[in-house]
């Protein structure tokens, strides 16, 4: 999971789009004024469609395995400690991930490592946090698995806690560093690549 995240972030498509692949990330950058309403809408729509399509393709190709009760389409569901623990843990991991992305991507020395740091966090969450909530951190990821599994148990957790956690992180970061401290909603700005965001990219990151 961590390597997949890193691969997507540093892939040509990820560099072009910003590799959000998570509505919570897009919502946070929209709140920060970095994404126009129309672009945010189509990003979020694409994230949900992509998540559903990915699971449905796997359901067709690998049905004997992915539909097995021990896998159950990799749905996200609260662990033995219940819904409160699941909600709190989803909020915390989302807050930490968005904070890490904002701190690193807006720092000249750390910007190039943003994707790696995010991948390390994802790998850590899968190992440590998954028993508490199933480690979603992404409403689209939850919906993608819930649809073919027809399992909607406590789905509201994964549609509220991750966006709330990332919005809280973005608000905290701006209060600490200032409104102009967030440069762009994507990391890579190679020559000849158009950026559709409200981009304040500059080379003198601090």
pLDDT on residue 163: 98
For the segment 190-201, the average pLDDT, to the nearest whole number, is 84
Task: Please indicate, yes or no, whether the overall pTM of this predicted structure exceeds 0.85.
Answer: yes
Per-residue model confidence as pLDDT tens digits over 159-170: 999 999 999 999
Residue appearing with tokens 């509201």: 156
Answer whether residue 132 shows pLDDT above 80: yes
Of how many residues is the chain composed?
Answer: 206
Answer whether residue 2 shows pLDDT above 60: yes
Closest residue by Cα to residue 40 from 70, 17, 12: 17
pLDDT on residue 202: 54
Structure tokens at 118: 């995010």
- Which residues, 6 or more positions from 170, have their beta carbon under 8 angstroms from its beta carbon? 28, 29, 31, 32, 98, 102, 182
Neighbour-count burial of 64, counting CB atoms closer than 10 A to its CB (0-12 exposed, 13-18 middle, 19+ buried): exposed
Answer whether residue 70 shows pLDDT above 90: no
Q: What is the mean pLDDT of the chain?
A: 93
CA dihedral 142, 2, 58, 158 (to 10 degrees): 0
Answer whether residue 86 shows pLDDT above 80: yes
The topology (CATH level 3) of 2-181 is Glycerol uptake facilitator protein (1.20.1080)
Share of the chain above pLDDT 90, in %: 85
- In the chain, where are the structural domains located? 2-181
Instruction: Provide the pLDDT confidence category of residue 57 given band limits of 50, 70 and 90.
Output: very high
Answer whether residue 193 shows pLDDT above 90: no
For the segment 170-195, the average pLDDT, to the nearest whole number, is 90
Answer whether residue 205 shows pLDDT above 80: no
CB atoms within 10 A of CB 156: 12
How far, in Å, CA of 171 to CA of 17, rounded?
Answer: 23
Answer whether residue 204 shows pLDDT above 70: no
């Amino acid at each position: 999971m961590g390597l997949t995240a890193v691969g997507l972030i540093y892939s040509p498509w990820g560099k072009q789009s910003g590799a959000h692949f998570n509505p919570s990330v897009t919502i946070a950058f929209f709140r920060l004024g970095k994404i126009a309403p129309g672009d945010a809408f189509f990003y979020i729509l694409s994230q949900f469609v992509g998540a559903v399509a990915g699971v449905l393709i796997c359901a067709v190709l690998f049905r004997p395995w992915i539909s097995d009760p021990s896998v159950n389409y990799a749905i996200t569901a609260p662990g033995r400690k219940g819904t409160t623990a699941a909600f709190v843990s989803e909020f915390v991991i989302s807050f930490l991930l968005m904070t890490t992305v904002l701190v690193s991507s807006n720092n000249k020395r750390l910007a190039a490592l943003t994707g790696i740091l995010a991948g390390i966090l994802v790998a850590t969450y899968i190992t440590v946090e998954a028993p508490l909530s199933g480690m979603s951190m992404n409403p689209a990821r939850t919906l993608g698995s819930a649809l073919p599994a027809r399992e909607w148990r406590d789905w509201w957790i994964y549609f509220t806690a991750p966006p709330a956690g990332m919005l809280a992180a973005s608000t905290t970061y701006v209060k600490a560093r200032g409104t102009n401290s967030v440069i762009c909603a994507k990391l890579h700005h190679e020559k000849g690549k158009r950026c559709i965001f409200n981009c304040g990219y500059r080379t003198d990151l601090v």
